[in-house]
Amino acid sequence: MKRLFPILSVLTAILLAYALYLALGKGTPTDALQGDVYRIIYYHVPSAWTAFLLFFINFGASVQYLARAKASRQAAAKWIVIAVGVVGTIAAFVPRVQQQLTSYGMRPSAMATTVLMIVALYFLVGWLFPGDRLDVLAVTTAEVGVVFCTIVLVTGPIWARPVWGIWWAPGDIRLTSTLVLWLIYVSYLVLRRFSNSAQTQMLAAALAVFGALDVPLVYFSIWFFRTQHPQPVIGGGGSMDPRMLHVLLINWMAFLCFAFLVCWSRFRLELLQREVEEAHAMESLAGADAASRASLPLSRSSK
């Protein structure tokens, strides 16, 4: 696997460069209303999608880490996820639900596919990262997810200033909920960094589960609330030039590859750090035990 990392790094760098060329080059048309400033979409939207994916992986890892203490909890969590998958898939084809989804510009088949992919990803995380590796994966995806969410919060106002005339709309539910999401996961990282309690990992996992509940609010806010943020042009009843969509998806693929490499590196570093800390703890215990044994003859002779 170590030999594969440099190869993937080179391929990712090439993909990022190609995506940049497509996003800023003449190969994609200029938006008729916004001009060239719209090209921020090729970084703003893929960053948001990548952050959402990383936060969901963090959520799945945190839930399974909390449930692993007891076999009954693990079984309950497993069957709850399966039930959600079954109910969500069936509900997507209920006529009334289909009408509601269509009114929001969403396809029922897309909803069913998304639900099944979420369930599959949940079980894949548990299979690939058993035991304490779930907690390592959780902190890794949270850190990288915060980076991409920061990109969203930075590129959003830069885009909004020439289009809306303001940097930030305080009453906009999507902007506000995204900021809250960022603050929750920053708090998660602060807790992981500065708390030395034996329950830190459990508390952090519980906070991650709570924070993940804000992700659906961020995503669906523009459907259910009147906001300054524009309606989605993908899956929201809008339209997008096929050439723009092509470049957007290429940029998202490049961002996903880059996020994967960063998570891979951070995951390995976290494992090594924990191994070093465990070794230091064992040395300290061994030293304390040796010191206590050496002091036994002295204490007896003093008597």
Query: What is the average pLDDT value for the chain, to the nearest integer?
Result: 83
Write out pLDDT tens, residues 83-102. 988 888 888 888 887 777 67
Q: pLDDT value at position 231?
A: 61
CB 182 within 8 A of CB 150: yes
CB 12 within 8 A of CB 257: yes
| One domain for residues 165 and 122 | no
| One domain for residues 236 and 186 | yes
| One domain for residues 94 and 206 | no
User: What domain range includes position 157?
Assistant: 132-286
| Structural domain contains residue 47 | no
pTM of the complete model beyond 0.75: yes
pLDDT band at 103 (very low <50, low <70, confident <90, very high): low
| Structural domain contains residue 293 | no
* Res. 274: pLDDT tops 70: yes
More confident residue, 275 or 297: 275
Kindly report which listed range (68-82, 111-125, 150-164, 284-298) carries the lowest average pLDDT score: 284-298
| One domain for residues 158 and 241 | yes
Q: pLDDT value at position 133?
A: 92
CB 48 within 8 A of CB 248: no
| Structural domain contains residue 297 | no
Rounded mean pLDDT, 195-213: 86
More confident residue, 277 or 1: 277
Q: Which of 131, 151, 184 is where one domain is finished?
A: 131
| One domain for residues 74 and 171 | no
| Structural domain contains residue 79 | yes
* Res. 109: pLDDT tops 50: yes
Kindly report which listed range (26-30, 37-41, 188-192, 213-217) carries the lowest average pLDDT score: 26-30
| Structural domain contains residue 234 | yes
State whether residue 31 is helix, strand or coil. strand
Write out pLDDT tens, residues 232-242. 656 554 567 78
| Structural domain contains residue 85 | yes
Residue whose tokens read 């890892």: 61
Report how far apart, in Å, the C-alpha atoms of 181 and of each of 131, 210, 258 are: 27, 10, 22
| Structural domain contains residue 122 | yes
| Structural domain contains residue 231 | yes
| One domain for residues 157 and 102 | no
Q: pLDDT value at position 301?
A: 46
Rounded mean pLDDT, 162-176: 76
CB 146 within 8 A of CB 178: no
Q: pLDDT value at position 303?
A: 45
Domain count across the chain? 2
| One domain for residues 124 and 140 | no
* Res. 269: pLDDT tops 90: yes
More confident residue, 6 or 227: 6
